[in-house]
Structure 1
C-alpha cells in the first residue's frame, strides 16, 4: 500500500568514545542508519558500499495486522470474543484497524523523506507538487478500489452473484478510510514540515510542530461536532422481508420508522452526531446495512452475536449506520498522524536505544491519556472512533511496534516472524484477495452439482468434523487460510512481485 520502506544498516551501537545528539538530520542520506553518514559502522568499514535494506519490523507489523484482519473477520462470527465490541468498549478486534492506519503513517514519514528532485545546481530540493500528485493519485486509486470491493458490488462468500443498485451503493469503507487518512497525513508531511535540520529535541519539535497542530485541530473539530451538534428526530425505511429483523407489516412493503432524538452530545447508537452527519451528507441508502450495534443486548437475543430481535426492541436496531463514516474517519486520520511521529523518530534517531526510548515515552503518554479520557466520560468506541479510543489504540500500536522492532531489528530474531514479514511485503494484495473475500468467492464459483460442494466450504466442513466443533473447526480453517496467504506472499516475494498503488 506504500512504497518500499528503507531500513537500518548496522546494529545501532554507539561508536566508542563518540557522543552523538539524540536527534539528528542526515540530509545526504538515502537510507535510515544508526550511524552518522561521516562515521563507518563496524559492519560497513570506510570505502565499503552500504546496501540499504528494509526495516523488517515494519513488514512484520503490517503482515501481522493483515493476518488479524482475516482472523477477526472470518472467525469472529464463530467466536464473538474475537469480534468487534457491539458499541462501547474494546476487544482485540478493535485494535486492528487503528494499527493499520498507524503503520501507514510510519511508512509515510519514511517515503516522503525521499521524494526529491535534482535542480540545475545538482542540489536536492523538495518537489512538493510531484509529491502531492503522487499522494493524491494513490489515495484516489485506493478509494475507488474500496468502493468496488466494499460498496456492495461484490456480495462475498456464499453468494455467487454480483452487482449493486447505484441508489444504494456504500461510498465509505475500510479502504476508503485508509485512503482519506493517508492523504491527509501525506499532505501534511509534504507541505507543513519545516525545512530545518534536526540536532536537538527543540529543533525536532519545530520541524513537525505544524503537523501536531493539524492533528489537534482535527481532534478539536471532531469533539466539537460530536458533543455540540444538534441531532434532530429522523426517520428511515426498513425492508420487512429480512429474515432476522422482522416487522409486523404486510408482505414485503417498506416500513417507515421514526427515531426520537432532539439532543446534543449523545454517544448512543440512535442519536449520535457521527450517524447524523452521514445521514445528512451521504444519505440513508448509502450507509452500512448491518452495523455492529445490532449485536447489542437491545437488538439481539444472542448478544454479543447477531440474532433475532428481542421483544420490544427499539426501532433504531433496524437502522443503517456506517462504522467508517465521515466524522469518525476524520478522527481515524489522526491515528495516521500518530504513526507519522513514530516514523519521524525512526528517521532522526541514529541509534536503537533513543528510538525505543522515545517510542516508549510516546506510547505510554498516548495509552494513559486514553484511559484518563475514558475515566472523564469519553468512552472507548470504535464505531464513533472517540478520542479516547484513538489514543488507546495509537498507544498500543506504538507498544507493538516497539516490541517487534526490538525483537526483529535489534536482537535480529527474524525467523519466527518470516511468514508475517512476507505478508507485510504484499499487504495490499493479501487484504484485497483474503480479507475482502475476493479469492474464496472466486474459488466457490467452481462447484460440483450444488453450490455448497466447493473447495472452500468442503474444507471448512471437514475441519469442523475433525474437531467435532463448529467453532474450533472454523478457527482451524481461518488459521489454515492465514498460513496459505503467508505462503502465497512468500511466492510473490520470491518472484519479486509487489502490488502497490
Structure 2
C-alpha cells in the first residue's frame, strides 16, 4: 500500500473475482490497523473488467487515501440463455395443453372417427385422462395409484439430474457453500420425503395383500443391502479412477444415506403399522388425530433420534473447537476456527470413518478456503434424514387414512406445512446466519429438515389437488422418470461423462453451450424413462 507522503512507486495488479456472490472490499492504510479507509460491496457481472484505483490524496484541505472504481468493459448478460430456454419450455408446455384441449372437442373426435385414423385417435386421446392412461399402461390395481407422488418424485429426479450435470454453470443450480438454500439443495430432501411417503403406501398395500411382517422385514433388508452395495462399490468411482482402492474409497454417499434412511423408516412401519385403521374413524376423542396417536411408538423413536442429534451437535466436545459450532471453518468466522469444518458432524465422521474415507471437496472449500474433509452425507446428518423421511411417512399415512376425503388430506398437509414453517422461523430467526440453528444442507440441520418438509407438504398437496383430485394434469413428463427413478438415477450417474450427455465444449466459459448440454442430457433421460414406460419396464429392487 502506498500511504500519504510515501515515495514508493505505485503498482498495478489484476485478480479474478467470483461473480456468484456479493463481494465486500476493504482497503487499509497500514498492515496493523483495524479500521479500513475504504469499504464497499458489489455483485460483479460475468466477463466484465473493473478498475479499482487507490490513491494518496494530499492538498491544503485534505490528506489521506481515496478509492474509486469504474467499469472498463461491461459484463455480459449471463441470464439470456436461461431466459431463452425458459421461453422454449413455456411454449412447449402451452402447445401441449392446447393440443390436449383441442383433442377433447367434439368436432375433433368426430373428425378422427370420420377419417378412421387409429393413430390419430391414439395421439389425441393418450393424455385425455391421466388416471386411465396409467391404469391402462401399468395395469388395473384395486386402488388407484397416487400419480402426484410419482410426479413429485420425477420432478425431484429431473432437477437432480440437471444440477448433477452442471446446471448450465449457474450458481443457483449449485449447492450453497454453507448456510442458505439454492435450487440444488431442494432435490435430495424432496427425494427423502417421497421415500417416506412411498414406504407408507407400499407397506400398507402389501399388508392388505396378506404379506407377513417377516416377509416385509426380508424385503426391506434386501433392498437396503442393494442400495448400500451400489452406493459403495458401484457409484463410488469412475472409469478414470482406475481400480477401486480401499485406501481412498468414500464410505458415505447419496445411496448409502437413502439406504439407511429407508431401513429405519421401513423398520418402524413394519413393526408398528396398523392393518385395520377404518375402525378408528369414529368413537374416539382422538379420532381426528389418529394418524399420530395410532403410531405413538414411532414418534417416541423420532424424538429420541432428534434428541441424540441435538446433544451430539451442541454438547459434544470437539478438540480445538467451541461447543455447538456449526460453521464452515477455514477463513469463516474471521479464521478463528480453521480446522472445525462442520463442528461435531465433521469430527464424528473423521473419528468413525477416517479422513481418507469421507468427501474431500465439500462445497465450502472454495469460498472458505477449508483444508478439512467434510462429508455432506455423513453419519450425524443421516439422523435428520430419517426425521425428514418420517415427515414423508406422515404424509403417506394421512393419504391412506383420508383417501376418500381429499379436502381433509389438503387441510392436514397445510397444517403440517404451517407448523413446520413456524418451527423453521423460530430456529433461524428468519435469517440466513444469525438463528439458533441455520438452514444448512451440508449439516442437514434441524431447520433445514423442517423448512424442506414444509416445502414438500405444500408441493405434494398442490400436485395432489391438480393431478389426483381435479385431473387437470397427468404429470407428464415428470411421471415417467418418477416411475423408473432407480434406473434413471444410476444410469445418469454412470453415463454422465459420456456422449451424448457430455462432450468437449467449444465455449465452456459461456452459459449457452453448458446449458444446452445439461438440458439435452436431462431431456434424454426423461425420454429414456418415457420409452421404458411405454414398454412397461420398471426397475425395482
TM-score (norm 2): 0.66
- Correspondence list, 1:245-324, <5 A: 261-269=320-328, 270-271=339-340, 272-296=343-367, 298-299=368-369, 317-324=370-377
Aligned: 1:72 with 2:159: no
Distance 1:277 1:219 in 2: 16
1:230 aligned counterpart, secondary structure? coil
Moved over 6 A (4+): none
CA deviation profile, 1:136-165 (whole Å, cap 9, x unmatched): 1101101111112342x325xxxx453222
Aligned: 1:227 with 2:280: no
Q: Would you say the 8 A contact 1:367–1:393 is kept in 2? A: no
Q: Which residue of 2 aligns with 1:114?
A: 205
Q: Which residue of 2 aligns with 1:167?
A: 247
- Correspondence list, 1:137-176, <5 A: 137-151=222-236, 153-154=237-238, 160-176=240-256
Q: Which residue of 2 aligns with 1:479?
A: 519
Larger radius of gyration: 2
Aligned: 1:461 with 2:514: no
Alignment match of 1:488 (pick from 523, 528, 540): 528
Alignment match of 2:476 (pick from 414, 418, 422): 418
Q: Would you say the 8 A contact 1:378–1:386 is kept in 2? A: yes
Distance 2:358 2:409 in 1: 42
Q: Would you say the 8 A contact 1:154–1:163 is kept in 2? A: no
CA deviation profile, 1:440-480 (whole Å, cap 9, x unmatched): 34x45xxxxxxxxxx5544x737x59xxx721221122122
Deviation at 1:340, TM superposition (A): 0.4
- Number of equivalences: 377
Deviation at 1:180, TM superposition (A): 0.7
Distance 1:325 1:474 in 2: 31
Q: Would you say the 8 A contact 1:426–1:499 is kept in 2? A: yes
Q: Which residue of 2 aligns with 1:252?
A: none
Q: Which residue of 2 aligns with 1:390?
A: 449
Q: Would you say the 8 A contact 1:117–1:127 is kept in 2? A: no
Go from structure 1 to structure 2 and tell me whether the alpha carbon gap of 1:195 and 1:457 turns closer, same or farther (over 3 Å shift): closer
Q: Would you say the 8 A contact 1:106–1:342 is kept in 2? A: yes
Distance 1:457 1:337 in 2: 37
Go from structure 1 to structure 2 and tell me whether the alpha carbon gap of 1:382 and 1:457 turns closer, same or farther (over 3 Å shift): closer
Structure 2: runs of 5+ lacking an equivalent: 1-139, 282-286, 329-338, 430-434
Deviation at 1:337, TM superposition (A): 0.3
CA deviation profile, 1:275-294 (whole Å, cap 9, x unmatched): 11001100011011111111
Distance 1:204 1:81 in 2: 37
Q: Which residue of 2 aligns with 1:307?
A: none
Deviation at 1:372, TM superposition (A): 1.2
Alignment match of 1:92 (pick from 183, 196, 212): 183
Distance 2:141 2:241 in 1: 53
Distance 1:127 1:51 in 2: 19
Higher relative CO (CA 8 A, sep ≥ 6), structure 1 or 2?
A: 1
Go from structure 1 to structure 2 and tell me whether the alpha carbon gap of 1:431 and 1:369 turns closer, same or farther (over 3 Å shift): same
Go from structure 1 to structure 2 and tell me whether the alpha carbon gap of 1:206 and 1:196 turns closer, same or farther (over 3 Å shift): farther
CA deviation profile, 1:244-279 (whole Å, cap 9, x unmatched): xxxxxxxxxxxxxxxxx2431111134200011001
CA deviation profile, 1:361-384 (whole Å, cap 9, x unmatched): 111211221121111511111111
Q: Which residue of 2 aligns with 1:36?
A: none
Go from structure 1 to structure 2 and tell me whether the alpha carbon gap of 1:203 and 1:394 turns closer, same or farther (over 3 Å shift): closer
Distance 1:80 1:499 in 2: 33
Q: Which residue of 2 aligns with 1:190?
A: 270
- Correspondence list, 1:205-244, <5 A: 205-232=292-319
Aligned: 1:335 with 2:388: yes
